[in-house]
Homo-oligomer: A and B are copies of this chain.
Amino acid sequence: MSDKVRLAPIGLGRWARVLGRGAQRGDVIELASCFSRSAEKRAAYQEEFGVPKAAATLEELLSDDEVEGVLITTPNDTHRDLIVASLEAGKAVYTDKPIAHTLEHAIDIRNAVERSGGIFAVGHSARRLSGSRVMKQWIDDGTLGDVSLVEANFSNERGLELTTDTWRWYADKSPGGTFIQLGVHHADNLQYLLGPVAQVSAHARRLYTKSEVPDAVMAILEFESGSLGYIGCGWASPGIYQMRAQGTKANLMYDLDFTHWDESHQADEWSTLVSQGYGDMTRRPVELPATDMFREQLDEFALAIRGEAEVEVGIDAAIRALAIVRAALESSAQNGKAVEIGPLLDQVGVAS
């Protein structure tokens, strides 16, 4: 047995393959087993990634002493039960974003994390993109000055392609549609940049998707600092991934061609970051140090299991991102009236 950290994906769909490729670009992780209810998917995943074994049931996977941690990429509404069972079996848990689809589920997950004391990480990978990292640095070191506005958009064509046999079609499994799937990334990014959000006003609409969920969502965030943030999310157009921060000393504009999102080691090549300083008549390109968000988050999770790293996005940050989504949906139901985040966090036991 190698000294690599032995992880096992749970759920073997498209996203488990993106993460599998990310893990195998590094040299920290060994995919030691895997689990899906479908024997066909297990066989295909083993073949594609050279995984030596597969578990036919969840119980079999969780009782396998060789498996140190699991990578959960199943539908949002199944996260809770899988996370709780995995933590109780002594496994470290990485789950894809969002942490859950409801705050009620998030409460149960938070309790299980506290009870077990296990390693727990949530895949808010987007804050690891080079553009987010540089933006954070420029805000923290004062290069941008005082930031009044931040704007972000994450959109793609998914809502036009959904069919009734996919879980994302259904409002009870994927409430908020594009906003819980894509917007939750920016809910994390913007709080990573500017700290906690105090309240959210939003409008969510179902326009051109045939599914049950919104394909057009706009939300205005007010940060505790007083700054304003905007998140736009569509599910009925070609892809967009963009962020902009406006400061008293400079602006920063980050743009990633979404069509290259999945292969995160190449994302920086399809990205631009541009600054414009106060009084400048021209803009300047900003260098983007190479990153690989999927590899990096999985390496960090694996090393944390061995006590050699700390998880950057754990339970509280993930719940803060989910709270933005839930507040946005509640605000939309109240025709845009702002919904406070504090009471939602209190429900889940996160300090507001």
Contacts and interface: CB of A to CB of B under 8 A. Distances in A.
Interface stretch (A183-191, A272-280, A316-324): A272-280
A345 to B, nearest CB: 19
B151 A208 contact: no
B230 A259 contact: no
Given A228-B218, A336-B201, A336-B336, A207 B238 contact: no
A98 interface: no
Among A237, A277, A283, the most chain B Cβ lie within 10 Å of the Cβ of: A237
A227 interface: yes
Interface stretch (A32-40, A164-172, A246-254): A246-254
A240 B232 contact: no
A220 B146 contact: no
Q: How large is the interface on A (under 10, 10 to 19, 20 to 34, 35 or more residues)?
A: 35 or more
A20 B55 CA distance: 78
Contacts of A160: 248
Contacts of A230: 218, 230, 232
B218 A220 contact: yes
Contact of A155 (B153, B199, B246, B334): B246
A77 interface: no
Contacts of A276: 238-239, 257
A230 B202 CA distance: 11
Q: Which 3 A-B pairs have the closest CB atoms?
A: A201-B336, A237-B246, A337-B337
A257 B238 CA distance: 25
Interface in A223-276: 226-228, 230, 232, 234, 236-240, 244, 246-248, 250-251, 257, 259-260, 276
A289 to B, nearest CB: 24
A250 B234 CA distance: 12
A351 interface: no
A244 to B, nearest CB: 8
